[in-house]
Amino acid sequence: MSVELSRSLRADAADNRERIVAAAYELFATEGLTVTMREIARHAGVGPATLYRHFPTKQDLAVEAFAEQVRSCHTIVDDGLAEPDPWTGFRRVIERICEANARSRGFTEAFLATYPDLADLRTHREYTLGVVAELAQRAKKSGQLRADFTLDDLTLMLSAHRGIPGRSPQARRTASRRFAALTIEAFSARS
């Protein structure tokens, strides 16, 4: 009987954890990182004590909520680097990163500024920027990326992208695609 009860409690705890992570991702994506832990607990249907038992800090919760996005971002930059034509790879990285960030405001905030010293996000940021730097060097050598492009330009672009308005997810995606196209044109050596 006690083994059955123990398994049931563990299943409840796992369900609570999953609901908390899903709620956090949803709220971070739509509201950004300013959302409170209390709001997340309420949205997940758990008490604050349950939330803090699983995630003592908002940073811990952000790392877990954005784990899939971190993996997706790595795939985006790795795919860009694997592209035989460096300019095509660079363009696709910009397009796909803008698309991903249009879906989640909070991830960009966490990536750029809110949690700069959080080890998991710092490691992700360093990896991503390192791959993009390599891709940018290849695109510059091909003569298609502006010779004066720096990674600071990419950071500036991501910061500006955070401000894209959108009353609906579709409006935000549409604006994001336009923003990506204009950014690519600005980064082109031919513009």
Q: Do the Cβ atoms of 175 and 164 come closer than 8 Å?
A: yes
| Per-residue confidence (pLDDT) for residue 5, from 0 to 100 | 43
How far is 101 from 107, CA to CA, in rounded Å? 7
> pTM value?
0.78
What are the DSSP calls for the chain, one per residue? -HHHHHHHHHHHHHHHHHHHHHHHHHHHHHH-TTS-HHHHHHHHTS-HHHHHHH-SSHHHHHHHHTHHHHHHHHHHHHHHHHSSSHHHHHHHHHHHHHHHHHH-HHHHHIIIIISTT-HHHHHHHHHHHHHHHHHHHHHHHTT-B-TT--HHHHHHHHHHHHT---SSHHHHHHHHHHHHHHHHHHHBTT-
| Per-residue confidence (pLDDT) for residue 162, from 0 to 100 | 77
Nearest residue to 40 (alpha-carbon basis) of 59, 16, 20, 18? 20
**CATH for 2-57?**
1.10.10.60
Domain with CATH 1.10.357 in the chain: 66-187
Mutual angle of helices 58-65 and 37-44, in 10-degree steps: 50
pLDDT tens sequence across 86-135: 999 999 999 999 988 887 766 666 656 555 555 566 787 788 889 999 99
**CATH for 66-187?**
1.10.357
Domain with CATH 1.10.10.60 in the chain: 2-57
pLDDT tens sequence across 57-90: 888 888 888 888 888 888 999 999 999 999 999 9
Nearest residue to 123 (alpha-carbon basis) of 57, 63, 80? 63
Band (165; pLDDT cuts 50, 70, 90)? confident
Beta-carbon-side half-sphere exposure of residue 134 (alpha carbons within 13 Å): 12
